Structure 1
Amino acid sequence: MTSRLTVEDLTLTETVARHGSVGAAAKELLTTQPSASRRLAALERRLGVRLFERDTTGARPTPAGRELARQAARLLADIDALPDQVLAATSAASLSVGTIQALAPMVFTALSVELDHVTVHPEIDHGPVLLQQVHDGLLDAAIVTIADQTTVPRGLHRTAMGVSPLVLVLPDGAPALGKGARPLAGRPVLYSTFDRTGETVRQRLSALGARPLPAPTIEAGLRIARHRRSCALVPELAARWYPAPGDRIQSSPVPGQVALSLVTRPPGSPVPADALERITARVLGAGQAEQSARVAGPSPRSVR
């Protein structure tokens, strides 16, 4: 193909195929048969393929002509619907929101439930990239965990949403923690956080005698820990969103928490305060709290 097809090309092909005649197509398109024939021949030369077999009885599409006519009908229908879709978009509430990969299931579920009247356009990327996109006007907002661990572009507004403490998940079959100052001595611990504290967590686990193992993702870390019947150190919200029967959720032996922030441009937040409170509760796992308690069962050190 030597040039891009035009709407006129698509319309001509679809009309000739539908009528089975260049003359009938020319009449519908308010042109002459010689003019329609010249345009069709020129299109075939540009494409380098014959689209119709033409004789005194009419015009029969070749396989290439049938395919082009089929695609043309679909594209022309989309074009016809476009004005109404544009008008609908101007009246519909929409919000472009970005977050990191690890938080995406929680954040976009919460937004979908709590902002059901709003069309959310999701974006998933690294935290610093999302902050820059908010600054550049490419996103209305970003929900991140590094707003207090990095330089936020000048002029952006940060709203603290809430925190999720680190917890220790002991899957079904994993032995209880040891006693004393080194309860994890000699034990492998899968660990993962949503922020930049991973190295600090690793060092603290090592100081307790554990064998820290970085997890590929938080969900994968929990699955691996369950398979190995070992421990997993994750933010509490992850333990609530990805529970399993028999899990025991205990206070973390190392301090730490993940802080969620909504980053926007002034003058105000595109998310109403009451909706943001509900979104935060869902992201932090409030909707999964009862389910997690049921699957975990009673535990003297369970986090509530």
Structure 2
Amino acid sequence: MRYDLDDLRLFLHVVTEGSITAGARRMHLSLPSASARVRSLEHHAGVTLLIRGRRGVRPTPAGTTLARHARDVLDRVARLDSAVAGYTRSPTAPLVLLAGGSAMHRLVPRALVSFLRAHPDVDVTVSESRTPRTVRMLADGEADLGVVLDDEARDCGLRMEPLGDDSLVVVGQAGGILSGRTALTYSEVAEHPLVGLDADSSLRRWIEKHLGPHAPAVRYRTTVTDLNVLVALAAAGVGLAVVPRRALAPDQTLDVCALQDPWARRHHLLARGIKAHPTPTATTALADHLHQAALADASP
């Protein structure tokens, strides 16, 4: 049987998203077209690949096997494309990736490790950048990809893809003042001593922007530049901290409460830039690694 690479990509997206509709959206296909491609794949394979239900789809054992081998095939094809493209692309023109502070903490490093190992001929320049600046640079053709926040990137005219939850939570020492609580407002958090990021950090400025002029008075016992240090201080009982939930490692021992304020619920989007001399294969590959890293980050 001869497999079409786009069909394999579509099938992987469908399995990953648990939905033919979502898989079609990732491939920029209509639902009827995507459904026809999946049915054709099943017909030529001679086996059922997906179990369809009211809430989505899940792979059969044959579908799981196909997805595993498809992922390997597509990864090898990406390496081949990257190796050949290396002869036509200037080594002084790396991909440019921009991301905010929370994405730079775990998501971007995880994606970079897998991408750079898989694509030894492609270089990446990474910079921390707030969403408004990232959007401007992408629109001006000065960057290839950007991880942005949904509420600050609406209607900007760029191609956007959902990347994952980046909601904020409050953390503190296990068994401390958060014990027994599942959610609270920022006003309640501000009644206690806090530890926070530096005033120039993208997360601190984002929070203060949404609190507005009537923000409650806050006592910061100390401010730091690194999310790892911030979480460690909160876990040690120095003070409460407001951080993205995805900044927390699954094995960390601390109390975590959701923030009830509407502005605390936010999502990451992956935005694609408009460059004069694009490298579509490498850009698409890096985007795929960012999506995979986001899924892995959310798994625990």
TM-score with structure 2 setting the length: 0.49
Q: Which has the higher contact order (CA 8 A, sep 6+)?
A: 2
TM-score with structure 1 setting the length: 0.49
